[in-house]
């Protein structure tokens, strides 16, 4: 008796699978015209990282290193520097002087985004990060910074002493 139920169960599974196949065969084909039209991403797509700015144009990153600590692939490198009254890069006491992400190692898990207390790092919708040269996959802070909001002034960077001597 159990072999009859096994045969019926197997036949039902095959019929269910063939039903899915025939249903997909009859549905229209969806083609993406990628080079001519930009692809449509979902709102939560995890693309290339973006370092955000506040409304005044200052960087949101305060160099707390929580994103680097949360990264399982250890692909984030940060060097912190102090903000001064003359040079104000971010709203906090410190700012990220160097902020690099090595996309050779990044797995786009989103842990860095979740760990950031100031929402300074987010995933954008950029997806064209492929390269034949692995050295171009190390993105610097300048490559990831969001553009200045309208009406904001760019931050004042310190003048190097070496350039003042010449």
| pLDDT at residue 93 greater than cutoff 70 | yes
Q: Measured between alpha carbons, how far is 11 from 63 in angstroms, rounded to an integer?
A: 61
How many CA atoms lie within 13 Å of 93's alpha carbon, on the beta-carbon side?
1
Q: Measured between alpha carbons, how far is 32 from 35 in angstroms, rounded to an integer?
A: 9
DSSP E strands: which ranges in the chain? Answer: 49-51, 76-82, 94-102, 121-123, 138-139
pLDDT digits (tens, 9 = 90+) for 134-156: 999 999 999 999 999 888 887 77
Q: Give Cα separations from 123 to 5, 36, 83 (angstroms).
A: 51, 24, 26
49-149 topology per CATH? Alpha-Beta Plaits (3.30.70)
What pLDDT, on the 0 to 100 scale, is given for residue 159? 63
* pLDDT band at residue 162 using 50, 70 and 90 as cut-offs: very low
Please give the DSSP secondary-structure letter assigned to residue 151: T
Domain ranges of the chain: 1-30, 49-149
Which residues are CB-neighbours of 152 under 8 A, at least 6 positions away? 53, 55, 56, 57
């Amino acid at each position: 008796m159990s072999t009859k139920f096994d045969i019926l169960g197997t036949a039902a599974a095959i019929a269910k699978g063939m039903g899915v196949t025939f249903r997909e065969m009859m549905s229209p084909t969806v083609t993406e015209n990628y080079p001519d039209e930009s692809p449509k991403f979902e709102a939560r797509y995890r693309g290339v990282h973006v370092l955000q700015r506040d409304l005044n144009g200052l960087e949101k990153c305060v160099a707390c290193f929580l994103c680097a600590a949360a990264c399982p692939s250890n692909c984030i490198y940060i060097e912190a520097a102090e903000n001064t009254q003359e040079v104000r890069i971010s709203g906090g006491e410190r700012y990220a002087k160097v902020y690099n992400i090595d996309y050779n190692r990044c797995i786009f898990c989103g842990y860095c985004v979740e760990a950031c207390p100031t929402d300074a790092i987010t995933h954008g919708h950029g997806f064209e990060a492929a390269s034949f040269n692995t050295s171009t996959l190390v993105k610097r802070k300048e490559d990831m910074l969001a553009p200045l909001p309208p009406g904001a002034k760019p931050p004042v960077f310190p003048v190097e002493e070496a350039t003042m001597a010449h």
